[in-house]
Amino acid sequence: MHHDEAIERFYTTRAWRKARDAVLKEHNGLCQVCLSKGLIEPATNVHHVKPITPETVDDPHITLDRSNLMALCEACHQEQHKRKRWRCDALGHVSL
């Protein structure tokens, strides 16, 4: 199985759905980042603080531990991923 397939399959598991629902309920369905700024925004995503990788997809401390999960709105979720992504220009130079 391809590593990306293992990660995609994880997101279809009952364990993930249960953890996701618990995090959203725990935070009253509100975005944790927006709430910390005094804003009220519905959470539509649950984000892994320490990301799931092919090496960690089978580690429940990474994938399911509520201390590694954040309830986020779409904008904050995109911002979290944007911060952690690297880019490669046409010459092959990597930048964060």
38-78, pLDDT tens digit by residue?
Answer: 999 999 999 999 999 989 999 999 999 999 999 999 999 99
Mean pLDDT of 5-12: 92
For the chain, what is the mean pLDDT? 86
Residue 28 has pLDDT above 60, yes or no: yes
Confidence of residue 82 (pLDDT cuts 50, 70, 90): confident
The strand pairing partners of 47, in sequence order, are 70
What's residue 81's pLDDT? 81
21 vs 23: CA distance, rounded Å: 6
Query: How many separate domains does the chain show?
Result: 1
Domain coverage including residue 53 = 3-95
The DSSP-derived string for 27-62 is TTTB-HHHHHTT---B--EEEESS---TTTTT-HHH
pTM, two decimals, is: 0.79
Give the DSSP H or E segment for 12.
none
46 vs 35: CA distance, rounded Å: 15
What single DSSP character describes residue 96? -
What's residue 88's pLDDT? 47
